[in-house]
A = this chain, B = another copy of it.
């Protein structure tokens, strides 16, 4: 059983703290510069909290769940003793952790976290990495206590996984945003698209590959519908550009199957 301190109080820190607090690991402290948020999260997880570097508790594992930009600054400001110190970033190399940290690690949960949404952490893949066998083994022990899908991957691999995540999460969500903008012009609410969004995701998840369930005018190379769509996007050159770009790629890629 490892003792764990979570550094941070945002949505990733919150989700990890709750999951670790409910696991067989021992969550000892929430450390965050924002005293109020640290206190609130610690209360939820029944553990200690701290906001000053001198108050940081001793632990086997420190998980720094702060924004990518803040990782180095926060890590440099704290004394972790001999603990294993992990960040939770998809695109930050393990080597970016300050040199003074001997046992460097990564603990990257592949999911989108937001305040107010409960995610079942057992389903969330956790990608781990460590600068030593000891660091890897500590990450594995904590990760397996909260998730059923734990994988050791290098920083280079993780960066590619994170890039994939940008497409399936951030860019997919942007497609929903464009859909909302366009349906508003038909004087219809975004709600109308919700069953379609849900079924599209469910179908891809049920498929062995999303390529096999691609539908629409692009994959059929249906010129007539595509030209009608481009006409409707005539006053939106940016969206028309995205439409043509994606339609061409769907058609090009479909031929390679």
Indicate if A200 sits at the interface (CB-CB under 8 A).
Answer: yes
Indicate if A95 sits at the interface (CB-CB under 8 A).
Answer: no
A210 & B180 in contact (Cβ 8 Å cutoff) = yes
B250 & A241 in contact (Cβ 8 Å cutoff) = no
State the CA gap A252–B196 with chains docked (Å).
Answer: 26
B215 & A169 in contact (Cβ 8 Å cutoff) = yes
Indicate if A249 sits at the interface (CB-CB under 8 A).
Answer: yes
A215 & B163 in contact (Cβ 8 Å cutoff) = no
State the CA gap A195–B243 with chains docked (Å).
Answer: 27
Majority-rule SS of A interface residues: helix
B165 & A68 in contact (Cβ 8 Å cutoff) = no
CB contacts (< 8 Å) of A171 on chain B: these are 175, 216, 246
Q: In the complex, which residue of chain B has the Cβ closest to the Cβ of A200? A: B169
Indicate if A133 sits at the interface (CB-CB under 8 A).
Answer: no
Indicate if A74 sits at the interface (CB-CB under 8 A).
Answer: no
B211 & A180 in contact (Cβ 8 Å cutoff) = yes
A249 & B245 in contact (Cβ 8 Å cutoff) = no
A232 & B186 in contact (Cβ 8 Å cutoff) = no
CB contacts (< 8 Å) of A25 on chain B: these are none
State the CA gap A117–B164 with chains docked (Å).
Answer: 26
Complex copy number for this chain:
2
State the CA gap A149–B215 with chains docked (Å).
Answer: 24
Indicate if A99 sits at the interface (CB-CB under 8 A).
Answer: no
Indicate if A76 sits at the interface (CB-CB under 8 A).
Answer: no
Indicate if A70 sits at the interface (CB-CB under 8 A).
Answer: no
B192 & A110 in contact (Cβ 8 Å cutoff) = yes
B201 & A170 in contact (Cβ 8 Å cutoff) = no
Within 8 A of B (CB), among A211-257: 211, 213-219, 222, 224-225, 228-229, 232-233, 238, 241-243, 245-246, 249-250, 252-253
Contact of A249 among B159, B229, B238 (CB under 8 A): B238
B219 & A170 in contact (Cβ 8 Å cutoff) = yes
Q: Closest Cβ of chain B: how far from A73's Cβ, in Å?
A: 14
Q: In the complex, which residue of chain B has the Cβ closest to the Cβ of A216? A: B170
A232 & B164 in contact (Cβ 8 Å cutoff) = no
Chain A 140-184 interface mask (CB, 8 Å, partner B; 1/0): 000000000101010011111101111111111111111110110
Residues of A near any B CB (own CB < 8 A)? 68-69, 91, 110-112, 114, 117, 119, 123-125, 149, 151, 153, 156-161, 163-180, 182-183, 185-188, 190, 192-206, 209-211, 213-219, 222, 224-225, 228-229, 232-233, 238, 241-243, 245-246, 249-250, 252-253
**Which 4 A-B pairs have CB atoms at the shortest separation, nearest pair first?**
A170-B216, A201-B201, A176-B210, A168-B179
